Structure 1
Amino acid sequence: MYCSGFKKIIKSAFFPRKFARNSKKLRKIRYTYILGIGGNIANEKEVKSRFERLIVKLEKDRRFKLVKSSPIIKNKAFGYENQADFLNAVLEIKSSLYALKVLKIMLNYEKIFGRKRSFKNAPRTLDIDIIDFSAKIRQSERLRLPHPKACQRLSVILPLAMM
């Protein structure tokens, strides 16, 4: 089971945080997304810094409005376990873009941060998963929503509960 392996909670300037200030404007934005972020390549301080740089990039990206973030948690790797512990957090964002477009943008952010896909569950600099898309169900070859294993992963459940 994925629910064992929690090690500690990590806080920073951006984790946890409420970003949105104008709820009237936010209501006009069409969709709410829950994103799971994770990484384990480099030491804890560098991974945390990478998460913070992602927040800065998302704040500057006019296609998205950050709403809030969870604390960061440190937990054991799952799937392929012979690797460093992961840092994970959850973000709530708003966008008028549809899920497949957001997926494409998030995959590009992963590339910007040096993500290489060598094998399933491999170590990674930055992983961004769409966990939920305005409570909609989507099943396609490229994207399944809500994320099919989110409710089994401590790396999602715990940060989401703390958010």
Structure 2
Amino acid sequence: MKKKLTQELTLFYTPNFPKKFNTISNKKYSVTIGIGGNIGNTKKLFDKLILCLKKDARFTLIITSPLLQNPPFGYLEQKDFLNGIIKLKTNLCPNAFLKAMQRYENKFGRKRSFQDAPRTLDIDIIFFDDKKINRENLIIPHKNWASRESVIIPLKYINQ
């Protein structure tokens, strides 16, 4: 199912987006990640990511948002992006969590050619519990989350 929000923004509803998973978890940290991509079959790739995260004992999936199709920013000569939000729980510390997410990006063919380049899968840590981290390789909360429709709109569906 799809729902047009504006001329440029469309919400997509698939079996995994939005979806409520386990709401009970004894894992320590609640983490909100943003996912995005615009190369290949992004919906199928996101479904594969959900499957991987479900099978990975380090994570307990809580809830996902609908997917938002939106125009690129920064580098504009590329296809629209699909973006979504996943909330999960983990016992990993922020650095180990970042490394795990970067491994998933690589597994799904992420190439880092230049800033805002087209990509198969981008995973951003939006929130990590109530932690505030400002290091060269990791900024939490994500520095631009509040100004990005690609985060704000899907996030509304998680925090209802």
Please report the TM-score for the alignment, with normalisation by the length of structure 1: 0.91
Greater than 3 Å deviation, 4+ residue runs:
none
Higher share in helix: 1
Q: Which runs of 5+ in 1 are unaligned?
A: none
Superposed counterparts of 1:15-26, under 5 Å: 15-21=17-23, 23=24, 26=25
Aligned residues: 153
Aligned-residue offset at 1:141: 1.2
Match of 2:129 among 113, 116, 134: 134
Q: Given that residues 40 and 47 in structure 1 are in contact (C-alpha distance below 8 angstroms), is that contact kept between their aligned partners in structure 2?
A: yes
Q: Which runs of 5+ in 2 are unaligned?
A: 1-5
Distance in 2 of aligned mates of 1:33 and 1:18: 15
RMSD: 1.2
Higher-RCO chain (CA-CA 8 Å, sequence separation at least 6):
1
Counterpart amino acid of 2:144?
Answer: K
Counterpart amino acid of 1:39?
Answer: G
The percent of aligned pairs where both chains have the same amino acid is: 44
- Provide, for residues 88-135 of structure 1, a one-character-per-residue CA deviation record: whole Å limited to 9, x for no partner: 000000001111101001000000000000000000000000000002
Where does residue 14 of structure 2 map in the other structure?
Answer: 12
Q: Given that residues 132 and 147 in structure 1 are in contact (C-alpha distance below 8 angstroms), is that contact kept between their aligned partners in structure 2?
A: yes
Secondary structure at the counterpart of residue 57 of structure 2: coil
Distance in 2 of aligned mates of 1:155 and 1:68: 17
Where does residue 55 of structure 1 map in the other structure?
Answer: 50
